[in-house]
Structure 1
C-alpha cells in the first residue's frame, strides 16, 4: 500500500495541533466515486444579478405570446362539471383571471377517479369568498359527458397560445399620448425566418415616436455596489442589435440601445441607433458597436424598437448578442468553465413549470412565454436540444426536470425524441437539429425527474401533496414511460423526496412502483447558522459541524427507509451547497450571509456533506447552482470575465483528481470531539448539544494506490 496524495482541508485558526492516527482498511464502500454535478441556471440579466448562458441579452426576443398551463384540484363534480374550492396563497391571481378565461381551453385529467379523461372547457367562472380572503371557488363546465369528476382529481388546464405583448413596454415620444397609438400582437404575418406565432404591430395616428422598450440589467457600478454582479459591456467585444421590421412607406423604423427614458427627451445615442426608411416587406436590420457606448452614464440600458412618423410598423425577432458567436448558442466562456470542472451531471430547469413538450423543443425565437401564477416567465433557458448538446460537449449526464404540466402524450413524444429512430416523427426532427442517432446512444444514462419539489407549496399549483398523490401520479406517468416502445433502461426515472420528512420519503418510495431513484437536498442550512448574536468563530463552528449533525442523519434515515422497503431504489441529491435567504427587489442579497457562505469553511463543509453521502452509497450529487452573482452561485464577474468562487475551484479539483477512485473504509483511533450547542427555537433559552468528531477521513484507492482526504471540522486546533 502506498499513498500518493494526502489532501488536508482545514479552516483552523489555532496554533495548537493534535495528532490523529488513521487505520485504512481494504473494504470498498463505494466503487468509482462520482463526479459532482451542477444545476444549470440560464436566466438573462435580471434584477439582482446577471447570467448570460445563451448568447442573447434580452428576454422574449421572438416577440411571442403566452402559453398557460395550470393544475386544478377538484373539490366536487359531476359528469360535465367540476369545482375547485380551497385555500389559496395567491387569491389575487385568481381574481385577475376573468370569467370565461379558460373557455375553449383543453383539459386532461392527470390523477384521480376520472384519470385519462380529456376534452374542452365550456365555461369558467371565478367565485370569491366573502368570509375569507384566503380561499376561493372556481366553477368549470365541460363540453363532454363522461366518467364523473370527484374530490381529489387533478386536472391539467392548457391554453396553447394567448396573444400577448410579453416582456416589452410601450414608450411614447414627446407630444404623443396613449390614445394616439394602437398596439397589438399580429399572428397573421410574422418574420420569414423563425417568425413563431406572432409579431407586434404598432399604429401611430399622428406624427411622433412610439417604441417598444426592454431594459437590460447592464450598468457600470463600483465594486461595493449591490449591482456589482451585473453584466457590463466588455470593451474588447463587439455587440450586435438586430431586428426584423416592415411598415408604412415614408415612416422611419428605430432600432436603438440607449439610456432608459431617452425617448422622453427626444434624444438617442448616435453610435447605437439606427433609423431606416421602412418598406412594406420584411427586412432584417442590425447595428454593431464595441464595448460600452456610454460608459460614463449611469442608469439602465434599454433596447428601443419602434416607429417615427404617422403610420404603422411590425416588429419581430429583436436580439442583442455578442458578435463573436452566433446568437442563442451556449457561450464559449460557459462551455470552457464546465469543461474545466468536468461535472458528472447537469440538471436543467427548462421544463420545470408551466411548460409543454413542443415549447420545450422550440427554437428560442419561437418559444412562447409562460404564465406562472401572477408572473410571466419570459427569460431564456436552454431548450431540450441545447441542453442535450451541452451535456455531450462537456461530458456530463443530462438530468431533465419534466414538470407535472406535461401530458402523458407529451411524455411519449419526449421518449421518441430521446430514443426513437430517425425515421420516426421526432427522430426526424432530432436529425434536423443535428443529431440523427438516438440520444440514448450518446449517454450512459439520462435522468428524467417528475417535477421539482412537488411537496413544496411555494411552487403551487405544481404540488403533489400528500405523498399518496405524489406516488400514484408517478405510477401513472412512469408506468406509461416503461411501457413505451421507445423506453430504454438507460433512462432513469426520479420521484421527489423531501429531505426533512422521513414519512414522505417512506410512503412515496413504498407506494410508487415504477421509479428508479428518489432525490433529496443536502443544503448547509442558513437559519440556525445566521444568529446575529453569535460570534464569528461560533458561526464557522456551526457551518463545519452541519454535515455531521444534520445531513448525515437525514441520509442515513432515508437509506434505512429505502432498505426496509426493499425495492433497490437509488438515492440522489438534486440540490445542495450553502443555502441563503430568499432574495427580493428590496434586498437582493445579504452581505453578512455572503461572507460566511462563500467562505472556505462553507466550501469544506459542502464537500464533507458529499463524502458523507457517498459513504452511504449516493452516486449522483448536484450543486445548486452553476450561476453568477450572490446567493446560490459558483462565479462572480471580474474584469468582464467569469471568476470562480472557492467552492467551484474545489469541485474542479475533486472531479479531476479524486473522482473515479474507490472509497474505502477507515478508522480514526484517537479522534477528538468538540461540542456544538444549537438553540431549539428562535427565542428558546434551551439548547441541544452535539458531540462532533473533529477529524473526518475519506481514503480512496485506485489500483492499490491510496489517496486520503482529511477534513478538520474544528477551528480550534490543527491536525497532523
Structure 2
C-alpha cells in the first residue's frame, strides 16, 4: 500500500456533524450509487516506461560495441521483374545514402492478395544493385531562380564534404512548370573552409509539372570559386524561360544509375504498391560507404551507422583504425554480445570512448550525480603492446577527487574498475559533462562492456527508489517504450534478447532485462516490438518466450532461442511468469514522426486493384500476418493463452478500428487520450482560472465522448468479437517546442508544468480515467513512469522525488478500487456550466461540474468524488459545493477519506507542495448516505468503506 500520511484535520468535528444532515435542499449536488455493475472486475491501471535500470541514464546507447542493425520499409512504385523501383527520396533518404550503400541487404516483399497480407518473395540486393545516384535539386524545393537572373551564388554547409567534387547542372522552366533538358554539367571542389553568401538569393514559387519543356537546355554553364570562398554558377539566358532550377550530384552524369534496387535472384515479379522490408547489418562502415556528400559531417551518419561511445566512423581523419570483431565462443567476457571493439594505436595515438551524460542540477535534461552515492565505471580490456587507459570526467565535475585514474592494459581480457564520488555541484550550474575513457599508447587494444552505474544495485537492475515507487503504484502492467522509435537504426532478435547493456539502439535495455524487472514487481509486461522482424525472428521470439528447455537433454542447436534464455538464468518459459503478455507491434504506426515504421494505403493485388485498403487496414493486415507466422511455431499453444495482441489507434479517426477489422487475432484496441497538450492543439495551459478550468473540463468535454465513439465504432465493426478497449497513453499532456510549429517560452513551459503537475490536474486525471472506465474501457495506460519534467510521474530525486498528483491518484485507486466492480451512478442534481469550444473540443452546454464513481470489491466500497468547478469560472463563483451520495449499503466497519493536502493550485514540480493524506472518519449514523458539506474546487476525494454491508 502506498505510504500515505494519516492525520485528522482541525475541522474533523464539524465535518462529522455535517454528515448527519439530511435536508436535500442544502445540497448542490446529489448522486445515487446503484448496485448495477458497469465494468466488472476492473483491472488496475498500467504505465509506460521510457527507460529503467541502474546506469541506463548514463548509457543511452549501450556499452556492448555491437553491429548496427539497419532496417527500412519502402513502397514499390512500379511493376518490374527483379528490380524495386521506389520514390527517390525513400531510396536515398533525401540524398543521405549513396550508391551501393545497401548492396547485399536482405529483401522481403509483402503483398495483399485477396484480403490477406503475405510474403511473396525473399531475396537479396545484388552487388552493385543499390542505385541512389542522380540529380538532386539544389535550389529550394518549390522555388526557382527568376527568369531575369542567370547566376546563382551559393555556399556549402559546414557539415558538407569538402574534399570531393560536386557536380551541377541547370534546367530552364517554362510557364507551365515544364523543365528543359539539363545543361552540360560542371563540377567544383569546395575549399577547406568555405565562406557564406552575403546576400540571400531571390526566388519565385514554382510548381513543376514533371513534363519536358520545348525550351532548349541552358548553354555555357560555368562555376567558379568566388573571393568569398563561395561558388558562383552562371549560364546564358534561355529565351521564353520563366525561371531556372539548379541541380547537384555527387557523381558525374555518366555515372548516374538512377534510384532503384536490383535483386540478386529471381522470383515473384515486383508489383506496384508492394511493401518492401530491407534489412542489413553493418559492422564497421566507412563514411563513404553510407553517407552522401550532403550529410557527410552531420550527426546523422554517426548516429545511424556508428558505434556507441565512439566519436566518428571508421576511416575518419584523426581516428585510429578500428573494427568490430566477433567474440570467441569461450570468451571470458561476461554477457559478451556478438562483437567487441578492436583499435589499432600507433606512436602514442589515442581514442576517446565516452559521451556527454551528466550535468549540473539546473540543467534539467541530463542526470545529476549525487555526492552521497558511489558510482562505478567498468570496462573489459585486452591489449597487445603498451596500452594505457585513463578514465575521467569533465564539466561541472571536472575536479572529482581521485580522477583521472590511469592503468596499464594487460594482454588478457580483464575487467578494469574505477569507483568514484563527486563533490556537491553548485545548484545554479547547467554545465554538461562528458564521462569516459581515453586509450592511448602503441599496439592493439580490445574493448567491451563499458558500463557506468551507481553502486548498491546490479547494473541495469531496478534501483530501490524505482522499485518502491512502482510497487506503491499497484500498476498491473508495464509498457516497454524503449524498443520502439528506432527508425532506421534498430535491432534484430539477437540484440533484443541480449543481456542488458549490450544493444546499442534501445539504450542498453533488453527484453530479458525488462521481463525480469516486470516479473519482480508482480506485474505483466506490455511488450512493444518494431514491425520489421523476419519470419525467422518472429518464430524465434515465440520460442524465446514460450519453449521449455532442459540443458540436460535438449539440443541448443535445435532450440537456440530457448537455450539462450536458459543460459541467461531463466530455464522456464517466460509465459509461466505472467498472467498476460500484452504485445504491441510498433508505436503510433500512423505517426510520420516514427517513420519508416508506419503504414500507408495499399491495393489488393488479387482483386485487380479494385479494393484499396486504408492505412489502418494495412496495419491490421500486417499484424495478422505476423500472428499467422507466430501461429506456425510449435510453441504457439503455450504462448497463445497468455498473449494479448494490441492495436494502437488514433484518437481523431478510425485508424485503429480499421486495423481491428483486419486483424481477427487481435482483441485489444487502444488510442492516446491526453489531457490537453500538443496533440490537442490547445497550446501550453497557463496558471489562470480559465487554464485550470480547461483541465478540469477535459473529462466531460472530451474523454466521455471519445470513449463512447470508440465503443460504438467497435460494436458496429466487430459486433461478434469480445474486444478490450482502452488507452496506450494517457495523462496530462504538454505543448512541446517544435511540434506542429509550436513555440513555448520558458515562462509558459514552467507555468504548464505547475498546472499539469498540480493537485487540480491530479483530480482531472483520475476523473478522465474513471469516466472512460464507466464507458467500458478495460486497459488504461499512464505515460510515463519516470522522473523529471513533461510526461513524467515523479520529480527528480535531487528535487525530492515526490510523485506528481496524477500518478498518486491513479496509484491510490489501483489499491482501493481496482479489481472491484465499477458500479452505476445516477446523477440526481449537479451544478452545471456551459463549456466553450476550445481548438478541437466541441461546445458542451450544461456540463456537470461534479462526478461520482464507485467500486465494490467484496465488502469494500470505494467512492470517488470529483469537483470540476474552478473559482471565478464563470466570474463571481467560488467553486465550492456540497455533495450528497446515496450508497447501496446498510452498514460498515470503518470509513477513511483521502484528499490532497493543498488546494488545486498546489504542485509538486518545484518542490513537495501537496500529497494525498487520509482521515479516519466515524461511520455515519446513516451509512447509506455520504454527505460532503464543502467539496473543495477542482479536487478529488476518495471515501473507502471497509466491512460494508450490502442489503440482500
Q: Structure 1 length as normaliser, TM-score?
A: 0.85
1:182 aligns to 2:188 (yes or no): no
Alpha-carbon distance change, 399 to 276 in structure 1, aligned in 2, over 3 angstroms = same
My pick for the range that moved more, 627-636 or 320-329, is 320-329
CA distance in 2, matches of 1:399, 1:532: 30
Q: 1:124 Cα shift?
A: 0.8
Per the alignment, residue 12 of structure 1 pairs with none
- Out of 448, 451, 470, the position equivalent to 2:586 is 451
Spell out, residue by residue over 1:527-565, the C-alpha distance to the aligned partner (whole angstroms, 9 max, x if none): 568557977101111111112111211110110111112
Partner SS state of residue 480, structure 2: strand
Q: Equivalent residue for 2:283?
A: 162
**Are 2:122 and 1:118 equivalent residues in the alignment?**
yes
Give the equivalent residue in structure 1 for 2:402: 271
Aligned runs of 1:412-561 on 2, under 5 Å?
412-422=539-549, 423=554, 424-465=559-600, 466-487=615-636, 488-502=640-654, 504-527=655-678, 530=682, 536-561=688-713
The aligned counterpart of 2:518 is 391
Partners of 1:126 and 1:457 in 2: how far apart? 23
CA distance 1:601–1:290, shift in 2 (3 Å): same
Partner of 2:449: 317
Matched, 1:678 2:831: no
Q: Does 1:601 align with 2:605?
A: no
Q: Distance in 1 between matches of 2:366 and 2:802?
A: 13
Query: Are the structure 2 counterparts of residues 517 and 314 from structure 1 closer, same or farther at C-alpha, using a change threshold of 3 Å?
Result: same
Question: Is residue 2:798 matched to residue 1:667?
Answer: no
Q: Match of 1:26, SS?
A: strand
CA contact (8 A) 1:57 1:319 kept: yes
Indicate which of 331, 345, 358 corresponds to 1:218. Answer: 358
- Answering whether residue 462 of structure 2 is matched by residue 344 of structure 1, we say no
**Deviation of the 1:109 alpha carbon:** 2.3
Instruction: Report the secondary structure of 2:801's partner residue.
Output: strand
**Alignment partner, residue 138 of structure 1:** 259
Q: Does 1:719 align with 2:719?
A: no
Q: Are 1:39 and 2:167 counterparts?
A: no
Q: Contact between 2:834 and 2:843, CA under 8 Å: does it hold in 1?
A: no
- CA gap 1:578/1:179 in 2 versus in 1, 3 angstroms: closer
Q: Relative to structure 1, is the Cα distance of residues 189 and 491 closer, same or farther in structure 2, using a 3 angstrom cutoff?
A: closer
Distance in 2 of aligned mates of 1:408 and 1:92: 26
CA distance in 2, matches of 1:616, 1:70: 39
| Residue 70 of structure 1, aligned match among 53, 69, 72 | 72
Give secondary structure in 1 for the equivalent of 2:836. strand
In the alignment, what sits opposite 1:6?
Answer: none
Match of 2:32 in 1: 23
User: Equivalents in 2 of 1:693, 1:61: separation in Å?
Assistant: 54
What SS does the corresponding residue of 2:541 show, helix, strand or coil? Answer: helix
My pick for the range that moved more, 290-299 or 105-114, is 290-299
1:245 aligns with 2:372: no
Paired residues in the alignment total 666
Summarize the Cα distance change of 1:214–1:260 in structure 2 as closer, same or farther, 3 Å threshold.
Answer: farther
What SS does the corresponding residue of 2:780 show, helix, strand or coil? strand
| Alignment partner, residue 502 of structure 2 | 366
Tell me which residue corresponds to 1:102.
Answer: 102
Q: What CA distance in whole angstroms lies between the structure 2 residues aligned with 1:349 and 1:87?
A: 28
- Measure how far apart 1:336 and its partner are: 1.8
Q: Secondary structure at the match of 1:543?
A: helix
Q: Which of 580, 586, 606 matches 2:734?
A: 580
Residue 72 of structure 1 and its aligned partner are, at CA, apart by 1.1
Shift of the alpha carbon at 1:269?
5.7
Offset, 1:696: 0.9
Counterparts in 2 of 1:20 and 1:124: CA distance versus 1, 3 Å? same
Q: Is 2:360–2:368's contact at 8 Å kept on the other side of the alignment?
A: yes
Q: Using the alignment, how far apart are the partners of 1:97 and 1:81 within structure 2?
A: 18
C-alpha distance after superposition, 1:576-615 (max 9, x if no partner): 0111133579979721221222122222111111111111
**Structure whose alpha-carbon radius of gyration is higher:** 2
Q: CA deviation at 1:66?
A: 1.1
Secondary structure of 2:829's partner?
coil
Higher relative contact order (CA 8 A, sep 6+): 1
Q: Secondary structure at the match of 2:102?
A: coil
Q: Distance in 2 between matches of 1:179 and 1:220?
A: 32
Aligned to 1:175: none
> Residue 57 of structure 1 contacts residue 216 of structure 1 at CA under 8 Å; is this kept in 2?
no
Task: Quote how far apart the aligned CAs of 1:446 are.
Answer: 1.0
RMSD (CA atoms):
3.3
Residues 1:653 and 1:391: Cα distance change in structure 2 (over 3 Å): same
Q: 1:479 to 1:245 in 2, by over 3 A?
A: closer
Partners of 2:493 and 2:371 in 1: how far apart? Answer: 40
Tell me, yes or no, if the aligned pair for 2:359 and 2:396 is still in contact at 8 Å: no
- Match among 148, 151, 161 for residue 269 of structure 2: 148
1:702 has 2:702 as partner = no
- C-alpha separation between the residues in 1 aligned to 2:66 and 2:788? 29
CA distance in 2, matches of 1:679, 1:143: 56
Q: How far apart are 1:312 and its partner, in Å? A: 4.2
Instruction: Decide whether aligned partners of structure 1 residues 293 and 247 sit closer, same or farther in structure 2, where only a CA change above 3 A counts.
Output: farther
Aligned pairs (5 A) from 1:294-333: 299-333=431-465
**Secondary structure of the structure 2 residue equivalent to 1:644:** coil
Answer whether contact 1:39 1:575 (CA < 8 A) is retained: yes
TM-score, structure 2 normalization: 0.65
Unaligned 5+ residue runs, structure 1?
A: 1-16, 45-51, 172-177, 263-267, 371-377
> In the superposition, relative to structure 1, how do residues 116 and 98 fare at CA in structure 2: closer, same or farther (>3 Å)?
same
CA shift, 1:405, in A, is: 1.1
Task: Decide whether aligned partners of structure 1 residues 690 and 655 sit closer, same or farther in structure 2, where only a CA change above 3 A counts.
Answer: same
What SS is found at the alignment partner of 1:477?
helix
Counterpart Cα distance in 2 of 1:533 and 1:55: 29
